[in-house]
A and B are shown apart, each in its own frame.
Chain A
Amino acid sequence: MNAPWPSRLWQRFARTRVGHSVFRVGLPHSNLERAQAMVSSFLLHVQPAKVNRHALRPTATLGLGLISLYLFFILTGTGVLLMFYYVPSTDRAYDAMKDLQFVVSAGLILRNMHRWAAHLMVLFVMLHLCRVFYTGAYKRPREFNWLIGTGLFLLTLGLSFTGYLLPWDQLAFWAITVGTSIAGYAPVVGPKLKYLLLGGNVVGQEALIRFYALHVIVLPGLAALGICIHLWRVRKDGGLARPDEPADSVQQIELSQLPTNKSYGLMELARGTTPQVGKNPEDEIFSWPHLIFRELLLFLAVVAVVLFLAVFWNAPLEQLANPIHPPNPAKAPWYFLGLQELVSYSAFWGGVVVPGLLVTVLVLLPYLDRGRAGVGRWFARERTVANTIFTVCLVVAIALTLIGSVFRGPNWSWQTPWQPPPAVVEGH
């Protein structure tokens, strides 16, 4: 009688025979029921029944990982719908985009949502990476999760890049031409990799169908798998990184030392921690409803932002792709512009060494950084060196990207955006 009306309404449904067969636990009223609600639900049980109080603070993680996940959901939803009209043929792709814009109900808004969510996802995955670094949440025992995260980051870039080609307009065609050319600079494997990506030597029908296959099934499939493992590992590594974690939270069980005259339950043998082990009970908060409700709010916020952008700003669509008329300058998608700027100085250093180094350092980071201090705290003093190096790299990357996007004009010449560029003598 004290519960609010939505709860009461739901409870009446959940107690019917049909309702009860689907939802075993109705709306929880006791702590036991709150724990059961999490554990008995397929979708919810990836999250623990209780979370640490610190994990609920917005400043702990800024919800960046969750935002990336929500954007992935939005992209998948809108993407599947768009698949009903888009045809990955060089003759029809551009016309399909125009049809979506003009004659398909809700076509324009769905396409806009898909495009803005894509850009946002690349951005937020990068921000999430920065947050995890700055809070030292890649350190032991979370090294492997950082690797999976790096993999997801590369998959996100791949998804964005493969999707970029699909409209088959001038923007798409030349951005991918530039991007695959940069890929071709890698030593030994470069040209072969480019040939494999494009299904040939030029950006044409073969490239389009390969990019489509990668974009709609291969990369999303791998990403979904990666996300599942990523979230599961967060659980297994002791939850989100926080400042007062016990130093040695991984309890190794030597199986050979266990007495053999008894049988063991799963929880005794499964390695790693569960939140109840060795934690302060006052710090543990029930996921239902405190975590769930916050997650719901964040989801609403993400949807609101994506919808807002989609309603008021149209995704770009330039002229039909024309292989003989490159725009001047031809620019890669924004997340590769920094690379393109570097490549303009030196193809080898900019296209091979720097990105190669970056990815290698990212992958090896948790194994290079042996220090145990500073986990769960932003900009911890103990990690000043690491933080400084990272920040410098970040600033340089942002600067290069800015230069590539705003300060480069025709023929990649320097231009200031507030002054008109010099007139270009166009060849016929």
Chain B
Amino acid sequence: MNPPSLNDPTSRRGFFQLTLGWLAAGFAVAASSAAAMRFLVPNVLYEPSLRFKAGQPDDYAESSVTFLEEERVFLLRQGNTFRCLSAICTHLGCTVNRASNGYHCPCHGSVFNEQGTVLSGPAPRGLEWFSVTLSKDNRLLVDKSQRVNAGQYLVL
């Protein structure tokens, strides 16, 4: 003989309570898991920022290519236009050198032209251009997280 059912399904109150209970418990479990996952995603980073200020426009000569060592970029000025080129070779990450009409990587010999396009060597693609804007306090603001096309530049 089967024992009487442990639950009393004919009791609507029991049904309602169970439903509500399992829903609440299920929600609590799901929400806690989601919270734990979100917990693991950092909100602040202690790495050097990808956005940095590169000084004032007038710090750069009229027609110049300036290497910013710490940030590993070149800042180019032509008249009143400003551009920023990454100095990190797309092959294996060495810092490229400025050559007479382009850039040259000392590690495996990749050669790039003034636009950053690969001319020869093992690099798979051209050097990256980064966005340059003007900050509120009149400083050049480079954002290495924003890549732009070779043709884009900041005009003052």
Contacts and interface: CB of A to CB of B under 8 A. Distances in A.
B39 A107 contact: yes
Contact of B7 (A4, A103, A105): A4
Interface string B1-45: 011011101000011001100100100000000011011111110
Which has the most chain A C-beta neighbours within 10 Å: B7, B19, B39, B40? B39
Interface string A91-115: 0000000010001111100100000
A31 interface: yes
Contacts of A6: 18-19, 22
A97 B41 CA distance: 17
Contact of A3 (B7, B19, B35): B7
Contacts of A5: 15, 18-19
Contacts, number: 44
Contacts of B42: 104
Nearest to B24: A300
B2 A4 contact: no
A106 B34 CA distance: 11
A30 interface: yes
Contacts of A104: 39, 42-43
Contacts of B38: 105-106
A9 to B, nearest CB: 9
Contacts of A2: 5, 9
A112 B33 CA distance: 17
Contact of A300 (B5, B25, B36): B25
Contacts of A30: 2
Interface residues of A, number: 20
A81 B35 CA distance: 11
B33 to A, nearest CB: 11
A106 B39 contact: yes
Contacts of B36: 81, 106
A381 to B, nearest CB: 39
Which has the most chain A C-beta neighbours within 10 Å: B2, B9, B25? B9
Which has the most chain B C-beta neighbours within 10 Å: A6, A31, A84, A300? A6
Nearest to B22: A6
Contacts of B15: 4-5
Given A3-B9, A4-B15, A4-B18, A105 B43 contact: yes
A289 B18 CA distance: 14
Nearest to A107: B39
Nearest to A30: B2
Which has the most chain A C-beta neighbours within 10 Å: B6, B14, B35, B42? B6
A105 B35 contact: yes
Interface string A284-301: 000001000000000010
B9 A99 contact: no
Contacts of A105: 35, 38-39, 41, 43
B24 to A, nearest CB: 10
B28 to A, nearest CB: 8
Interface string A1-34: 0111111000000000000000000000111000
B9 A4 contact: yes
A99 B22 CA distance: 35
B43 A103 contact: yes
A110 B37 CA distance: 12
A289 B6 contact: yes
A5 B7 CA distance: 11
Contacts of B3: 31
A81 B43 contact: no
A157 to B, nearest CB: 28
Given A3-B7, A3-B9, A5-B19, A110 B39 contact: yes
Contacts of B40: 81, 84
Given A5-B15, A300-B25, 20 more contacts: A2-B5, A2-B9, A3-B5, A3-B7, A3-B9, A4-B7, A6-B19, A6-B22, A29-B2, A30-B2, A81-B36, A81-B40, A103-B43, A105-B35, A105-B38, A106-B35, A106-B36, A107-B39, A110-B39, A289-B6
25 contacts: A2-B9, A3-B5, A3-B9, A4-B7, A4-B9, A4-B18, A5-B15, A5-B18, A5-B19, A6-B18, A6-B19, A6-B22, A31-B3, A81-B36, A84-B39, A84-B40, A99-B44, A103-B43, A104-B39, A104-B42, A104-B43, A105-B41, A106-B36, A106-B38, A289-B6
Interface of B: 2-3, 5-7, 9, 14-15, 18-19, 22, 25, 35-36, 38-44
